[in-house]
A and B are shown apart, each in its own frame.
Chain A
Amino acid sequence: ELKVEQNPLFLSMQEGKNYTIYCNYSTTSDRLYWYRQDPGKSLESLFVLLSNGAVKQEGRLMASLDTKARLSTLHITAAVHDLSATYFCAGTTQGGSEKLVFGKGMKLTVNP
């Protein structure tokens, strides 16, 4: 059964700083997703990582995937207040429904 763990679960950082958050998963996952969620809102897709060594960047966020280590990272560069949100990673079960299995999420607060 696929399990997804994120750490840290809470992060408070200052604007301008860099940080990396981690997502570990327990069994083989076809793909790894990162989502952003603002309070009371739905999920916004950030990245889909399809293969080992995949790296994607969008603005101040960069995601990578190491399938051998079953690890994905989300790196934040020069954080700004607008990045404050909860970030989820999710893997997919192989075959069948290919449902998403989510981690608990990391609540990020970027302070001026």
Chain B
Amino acid sequence: DTGVSQNPRHKITKRGQNVTFRCDPISEHNRLYWYRQTLGQGPEFLTYFQNEAQLEKSRLLSDRFSAERPKGSFSTLEIQRTEQGDSAMYLCASSQLNYGYTFGSGTRLTVV
């Protein structure tokens, strides 16, 4: 297992377009998290899955954002009608109860 994988690494999109990011967690990890990090800030929690169930969503997650984790494996984060304020690094992390969190390399989104 090579850790948490995120694709794409970089995405440039025009304002108003939809984008989708993918996260492949460590296979034994049942917990998956999405965070957003803007320049000069710490990562902010977006949403959490335990297996396939989305159990918590941040107030930051507007209705333009949706996340899924079908079959409790990989997860996708979709942003509809992107805005310039969505430009950020999107980080995925996975964990198993009582173990540490492993972060992926992130997807850097630039909305132009």
Residue positions of A touching B, CB distance < 8 A: 4, 33, 35, 40-43, 45, 48, 88, 90, 96-105
Chain B's closest residue to A99 (CB) is B45
A97 pairs with B43, CB closer than 8 A: no
Docked CA distance A104–B102 (Å): 19
Q: 19 A-B Cβ contacts within 8 A?
A: A4-B42, A33-B101, A35-B103, A41-B105, A42-B103, A42-B104, A42-B106, A45-B103, A48-B100, A90-B42, A97-B31, A97-B33, A97-B45, A97-B55, A97-B56, A100-B33, A100-B45, A100-B101, A102-B42
Task: Return A102 CB to nearest CB of chain B, in Å.
Answer: 3
Given A88-B42, A104-B42, A105-B42, answer yes or no on A97-B103 (Cβ-Cβ < 8 Å): no
Task: Return A92 CB to nearest CB of chain B, in Å.
Answer: 9
What chain B residues lie within 8 Å of A90 (beta carbons)?
42
Docked CA distance A4–B105 (Å): 23
Cross-chain contact of B33 among A41, A45, A48, A99 (Cβ < 8 A): A99
Chain A's closest residue to B91 (CB) is A42
Q: Which of B6-36 contact A (CB under 8 A)?
A: 31, 33, 35
B45 pairs with A105, CB closer than 8 A: no
Task: Return A11 CB to nearest CB of chain B, in Å.
Answer: 15
Docked CA distance A56–B33 (Å): 26
Chain B's closest residue to A45 (CB) is B100
A102 pairs with B103, CB closer than 8 A: no
Question: Is residue B74 within 8 Å, beta carbon to beta carbon, of the partner chain?
Answer: no
B48 pairs with A43, CB closer than 8 A: no
What chain B residues lie within 8 Å of A105 (beta carbons)?
40-42
Chain A's closest residue to B44 (CB) is A102
